[in-house]
Amino acid sequence: MGINSFELTSELLEQIIFAMENQKEKFMLDPLVPSIVPKDVGHNLEGVSYELPLWEPSDGYRLMEQFVLSLRNPVYREHLSSILHCGSGVFRKYKDALNQRPDIERLWFAFKEKEMKNRVSEWYNALRLEWGLDAYEVEFNGEYSPVLTDFSIIPGRTSHLEQINAFDIEAYRELYASYPEDYISDLIRRSRDGFEPEISSDSTILIAESPNEEIVGFIWITTEVLENGTHLGRIRQIYILPEYRGLGLAEKLKESVLESDSLQTCDIVEIDIPEKADFLKNDLQQQGFVCVNSLLIRGGDSS
């Protein structure tokens, strides 16, 4: 490298990002050390100093907009979007909203880190082009996965059953929201074969638990032996609270039960997938499940 060039180390990259976000003071880069120095100091250096990538509040706002659009969680996507368009105190309200959901907050930090590193990388590569050097590729460890790090998949306990039963009923009411209540009750009765979610040797429930030990979803399976000895497993319900959807929790619960001993020993495993859960249907078909029937309804929201 020449006398005015410098190596973009991980430490220097972090310092540049920190300086870019400082809206109270402007900085420059002294390539001889290299180090970040106040702008007035940089202009007085005897050698060359470099302006840092421009980062204004408007850039931060656009980054928040991009993150909100990328969120798969529909409830929090709408919540954060409303904050971005509230007109005043946007940055503080946005930060406070993320503080309420550590899983989404960490997803935001990972998103922001990647975008900021890309911005610095573009700036650095423009300099390298002037120096006659090859392009530099910034290293990034990959996107943060809130399901694997923040949520726990645990066996259901008897103390969970009251809430699980409420979730089970809510799943039907949400799916058939425009249909009469008595029809929904009858549909639940027919689907449940006269019993509710329970924990026994033939009935297993797995819970998705938040970092605050809140139950945010569940999956329920039952097993039975038919009259000629066929072992049948049924995935009877998968439900995730709306504000926690889009994080991959349903897929994580499904993977956990499909790998469990209860279903591994079954000759046949069946699951009824609602039309709104096509993402699960496509995944299950790749794992050997076959779609054999559909429930067609006339009336209500289908009329």
Give the β-pairing of 203-209 and 50-51.
Answer: unpaired
Q: Label residue 37 by pLDDT band (50, 70, 90).
A: very high
Distance CA 141, CA 117 (A): 12
Do residues 165 and 196 make contact, with C-beta atoms less than 8 angstroms apart?
yes
**Residue 93 belongs to a domain:** no
48-52, 85-89, 247-251, 283-287, range with the lowest pLDDT: 283-287
Q: Check whether 126 has a pLDDT greater than 70.
A: yes
Between 39 and 194, name the one with better pLDDT: 39
Give domain status of residue 139, yes or no.
Answer: no
Mean pLDDT, residues 122-134 taken together: 92
Number of domains the chain contains: 1
Distances (CA, A) of 266 to 219, 231, 235: 17, 5, 12
Query: How large is the average pLDDT for residues 262-266?
Result: 90
Asked if residue 103 lies in contact with residue 211, where contact means CB atoms within 8 angstroms, the answer is yes
The predicted pLDDT at position 60 comes to 93
Among residues 23, 105, 103, the alpha carbon closest in space to that of 64 is found at: 105
Spatial separation of the C-alpha atoms in residues 264 and 170, rounded to whole Å: 29
| Average pLDDT over all residues of the chain | 87
Query: What element of type H or E holds 278?
Result: helix 278-286
- CB-CB contact of 94 with 84 (8 Å): yes
Would residue 129 count as lying in a domain? no
CATH number of the domain within which 297 lies: 3.40.630.30
Q: Per-residue pLDDT averaged across 98-127, rounded?
A: 91
Q: Is residue 296, in this structure, part of any structural domain at all?
A: yes
Do the domain assignments include residue 64? no
**pLDDT band per the 50, 70, 90 thresholds, residue 140:** low
Residue 175 lies in a domain: yes
pLDDT of residue 78: 93
Query: What are 96-107's pLDDT values in tens digits?
Result: 999 988 888 988
pLDDT band at 42 (very low <50, low <70, confident <90, very high): low
35: left (phi over 0), alpha (psi -120 to 50) or beta: beta
Q: How far is CA 250 from CA 3, 21, 31, in A?
A: 55, 37, 50
Strand ranges across the sheet with 152-155: 152-155, 203-209, 215-225, 231-240, 268-271
Read off the DSSP letter of residue 302.
G
| Alpha carbons 99 and 275: distance in angstroms, whole number | 34
Q: What is the pLDDT of residues 145-190, one digit of tens each?
A: 556 677 899 999 999 999 999 999 999 999 888 899 999 999 888 8
Query: Is the pLDDT confidence value at 300 over 80?
Result: no
Contacts of 136 (CB under 8 A, 6+ apart): 8, 121, 124, 125, 128
Please report whether residue 289 resides in a domain.
yes
d(CA 235, CA 256): 12
Range of the domain at 260: 149-302
CB atoms within 10 A of CB 106: 16
Question: Is the pTM for the entire model greater than 0.75?
Answer: no
Residue 74 resides in a domain: no
